[in-house]
Amino acid sequence: MSELINKEVGEKGCCEIIEINALNKWYGDFHALKDIDLKVKEGEIIVVCGPSGSGKSTLIRCVNFLEKFQEGSIVVDGTELTDDVKKIRRVRSEVSMVFQHFNLFPHLNIIDNLTLAPIWVHNETKQAARDKALQLLDRVDIKDQAKKYPNQLSGGKQQRVAIARALCTSPKIMLFDEPTSALDPEMISEVLDVMVELAKEGITMICVTHEMGFAKKVADRIIFMDEGQIIEENEPESFFKNPESDRLKLFLDQILSQ
Amino acid sequence: MPIYPLKETRQSPQSQTKAFSWLKDNLFSSLSNAALTFIALYLIYLILPPILDWMIFDANFDLTADNDSCGREGACWAFIDSNLKMFIYGFYPQEELWRVNTMFGIIIGLVVFGSLIKKSQYRAHYIIGAFLIYPIVAFVLLHGGLGLEVVETDKWGGLTLTVVVAAIGIVASFPLGILFALGRQSKMRVVRFISVVYIEFVRGVPLITILFMASVVLPLFFSAGMDFDKLLRALIGITLFQTAYIAEVIRGGLQAIPKGQYEAADAAGLSFMKKTVLVILPQALKVSIPNIVGSFIALFKDTTLVLIIGLFDMLAIVGAATSNSSWLGRDTEGYVFVAMVIWVILYSMSLYSKKLETRFSTEHK
Ligand SMILES: Nc1ncnc2c1ncn2[C@@H]1O[C@H](COP(=O)(O)OP(=O)(O)OP(=O)(O)O)[C@@H](O)[C@H]1O
Ligand SMILES: [Mg+2]
């Protein structure tokens, strides 16, 4: 516990790497994100939680422009997200995403899944991409499966491959959208372990998850969303000990009693 | 707490009387099934013997026989034998037949070589190279030029013509079909509109109409003096037709791809082109293989319609051969033979597609 308390937002990098200002997003008439302001420092680990439909996925999907937004601004590492395809691609080449349902490419084997973006987006040589991919697979402990196809692996392994794939482009920022929710219970920890390791290495992470143990362990800040708004944010200690809003209290009651 | 010992594995009782149980399961599983079996057997009894009599038992296999000495109670296979060249090459000049053979020989060689280097990293280069170069080689061989005597397309015919028309239709319509399938999904209104109109128009019109249109309307676009090759007209018509069907088949495949695949590709920063070529199309084509092959088989059958605009494909050759006074009245032999040849080709195609399917589904779903 002590190491957690020592962790201070201040000791993370100097600069804001993600700046979200007055972000509003509608799906048709439905107001999905309301006046979101969020600044993330380099190296910071943010956990986003909240009830289903509260806009968590929508928020992080705005960061790599998988979702368009109507109002407000998002600046990622100095690049403001607009309709400009070049800027979008620049941001996407620095931001990697891990999805709830892995979304590995089923027609490619594991190694080709990993090397696709390095070769075709980052213009790396095949050999360099392969070497790096093998290293990363080793790190997530599935080096021996490099020649297999995604559907031949268990869910937990597929998600670890997906994390390795996301890391293969050396991103500055990692987005996780409920990476463990689609997994069988016995496989959750193998994925969380990998994420904890990652968090220790100083990469910037925004992670939508309901794994409160994970949040306690690694988060610098936890953000609670409801109905498209950020209701409360705090560092983990106070977040769990002294929730202020009733909604968060209710939410924590429900989620921690499980 | 009770503990149960492991049980011995035993043979299934069914495996002992295999033939009998197969009969029982497949042909006589119920009263109605048994009735159907007997009806089917009766129909076979009615149909098969006369056919076999005509084709084999009453047939004349003496290949030196002529039309009169052959007899009329059974098939006269001498007719096929003495017209075989015409069935295969149409009216292609005798001395130049080696060119057709060479063309077929090269493609067989290419395919065999391609299957030998399955594991090679240069296989993709090889396939693309072959696709680009072979058509030119084949055209020069068939048509002439570069020192070879020119053989006009109205001399082409028979199986050669059937295969050439089908192959060109297939090869040309495939990339076009992909473009229209993507066009129909495009976010750009105009592109989508054009694709939809084209696909729906062509699919609403029979091939015969399109062939007539191609042979009558297309020349209007060219100056009167210019002779617009009949075969080329047919090829354009067939390609236009097949493109629409392939586009629809591939669109079906595109729709089968989960949204997450697009998102993963987008999130990785792939451009639209790279996303389409590297992630989306390979998956879409894979799911569409059975339907693509089905569509090609349909096209292969439809190519026989080119006889309507005056090309001598294999079917039309039957008419030409039996109008020759020495083989009057042997149409049946001709049509049965053509049917058998086409069946063998189409059945091999469908077997190949089954093989492809199982290969893909076992390798990687
Ligand atoms: N493409 C869409 N079109 C219309 N409405 C959408 C779309 N995507 C999301 N929504 C709506 O926006 C709201 C926020 O969705 P979002 O997926 O961000 O929620 P979430 O917090 O991630 O929930 P969950 O925990 O279920 O993943 C939901 O009410 C959802 O119904
Ligand atoms: Mg979500």
Q: Which of A79, A114, A120, A159 to mutate to test the interface with B (most CBs of B within 10 A)?
A: A120
Residue minimizing CA distance to atom 25 of ligand 1: A52
Considering only the beta carbons, identify the residue of A107, A117, A149 that sits closest to B269: A117
Facing residues of A36 across strands? A23
Q: Find the helix or strand (DSSP H, E) in which A31 lies.
A: strand A30-41
Say yes or no: CB of residue A247 within 6 Å of ligand 1.
no
pLDDT at A4: 41
Question: What stretches of B53-157 show up as alpha helix (H) in DSSP?
Answer: 78-89, 97-116, 123-143
* Closest atom of ligand 1 to CA, residue A225: 21
**Per-residue pLDDT at B365:** 47
Contacts of B127 (CB under 8 A, 6+ apart): B114
Q: Which helix (H) or strand (E) holds A187?
A: helix A185-200
Res. B21: pLDDT tops 80: no
With contacts defined as CB-CB under 8 Å, which chain A residues touch B359?
none
CA A137 vs CA A111, B264, B267: distances in Å: 9, 19, 20
What stretches of B144-188 show up as alpha helix (H) in DSSP? Answer: 158-185
With beta carbons less than 8 A apart as the criterion, state whether A70 and A43 touch: no
Domains in chain B, please, with CATH? 93-151 (no CATH), 153-360 (1.10.3720.10)
What is the predicted pLDDT for the residue at B227? 65
Check CB contact under 8 Å for B267 and A104: no
Give the Å distance between the CA of A66 and the centre of ligand 1.
Answer: 13
A55 Cα nearest atom in ligand 1: 18
| Stated pTM of the model | 0.83
Question: Strand A71-76 vs strand A16-27: parallel, antiparallel, or unpaired?
Answer: antiparallel
User: What pLDDT does residue B232 have?
Assistant: 86
Looking at the CA of residue A228, tell me the nearest atom of ligand 1.
14
Confidence of residue A158 (pLDDT cuts 50, 70, 90): very high
Answer yes or no: do A105 and B261 touch at CB < 8 A.
yes
How does strand A221-226 pair with strand A229-234? Answer: antiparallel
> What is the pLDDT, as a whole number, of residue B329?
78
A257 within ligand 1 shell (Cβ under 6 A): no
Q: Which residues have C-beta within 8 Å of that of residue B347, sequence separation ≥ 6?
A: none
Residue closest to A216 by CA, chosen among A20, A49, A63: A49
Q: Per-residue DSSP letters for B77-88?
A: THHHHHHHHHHH
Top-ranked range on mean pLDDT: pick from A130-139, B53-62, B343-352: A130-139
Q: Which residues of A touch B279 (CB under 8 A)?
A: 105, 116
**How many CB atoms are closer than 10 A to CB B90?**
24
Among A23, A31, A34, A54, residue to substitute to test ligand 1 (most atoms within 8 Å of Cβ): A54
Catalogue the long-range contacts made by B116-119 (C-beta closer than 8 Å, 24 or more residues apart): none
CB A224 within 8 A of CB A50: yes
- What are the Cα distances from residue B307, in Å, to A77, B82, B155, B219, B324? 67, 22, 14, 19, 18
Please name which of B238, B91, B93 lies closest in space to residue B169, comparing C-alpha atoms: B238
Which residues have CB less than 5 Å away from ligand 2 (the ion)?
A: A 57
pLDDT, average across residues A150-158:
93
**Residue B218 pLDDT > 80, yes or no?**
no
Among partner residues A107, A117, A120, which is closest to B364 by beta-carbon distance? A107
Query: At B39, which amino acid appears?
Result: I
Chain segment A8-49, per-residue pLDDT in tens: 444 556 788 999 999 999 999 999 999 999 999 999 999 999
What letter represents residue B319's amino acid? G
Closest CB from A92, A149, A150 relative to B268: A92
Contact A103 B283 (CB under 8 A): no
Nearest CA to ligand 1 atom 3: A27
The pLDDT tens digits for A71-86 are 999 999 999 999 899 9
For every residue of B250-285, DSSP letters joined together read HHHHHHTS-HHHHHHHHHTT--HHHIIIIIIHHHHH
Of A38, A122, A109, A27, residue with least CA distance to A73? A38
B299 pLDDT higher than 60: yes
User: How many Å lie between the centroid of ligand 2 and the Cα of residue A188?
Assistant: 17
Distance CA(B204)–CA(B7), nearest Å, equals: 64
Question: Mean pLDDT across the stretch A93-107?
Answer: 94
Is pLDDT above 70 for A156?
Answer: yes
Please indicate if any CB of chain A lies within 8 Å of the CB of B269. yes
CB A49 within 8 A of CB A56: yes
Q: Which pLDDT score, from 0 to 100, does residue A7 have? A: 43
**What mean pLDDT do residues A49-56 have?**
94
Q: Which of A30, A40, A22 is nearest to A76 (CA)?
A: A40
pLDDT of residue B226: 61
Predicted local confidence at residue B15, as pLDDT: 61
CB atoms within 10 A of CB A131: 13
Is residue B313 classed as helix, strand or coil in its secondary structure?
Answer: strand
User: Does residue A64 belong to the interface with chain B, where contact is any CB pair within 8 Å?
Assistant: yes
Find chain A residues with C-beta within 8 A of B286's C-beta: 107
Q: CB contact, 8 Å: A70 with chain B?
A: no
Ligand 1 atom closest to Cα of residue A59: 18
B135 vs B356, more confident: B135
Strand partners, B148: B145
* A157-A163-A164 Cα angle (round to 5): 90
Q: How many CB atoms lie within 10 A of CB B303?
A: 26
Instruction: State in Å: Cα A162 to ligand 1 middle.
Output: 23
Cα angle at B154 between B152 and B157, to 5 degrees?
Answer: 110
Residues A205, B89: Cα–Cα separation, whole Å: 69
Return the pLDDT at B44: 93
Q: Comparing C-alpha atoms, which of A248, A191, A202, A168 is closest to residue A45?
A: A202
Q: With 0-12 CB in 10 A as exposed, 13-18 as middle and 19+ as buried, what is B42?
A: exposed
- Could you give the CA distance from residue B363 to residue B177 in angstroms, rounded to a whole number? 26
Residue B60 has pLDDT above 70, yes or no: yes
Tokens matching residue B231: 């075969």
Which structure tokens are listed for B28? 């006589």
Dihedral in degrees, nearest 10, Cα atoms A9, A11, A169, A193: -70
Helix, strand, coil percentages in chain B from 3-state DSSP, rounded to 5? 75, 0, 20
Alpha helices in B269-330 (DSSP H): 272-274, 281-302, 314-322
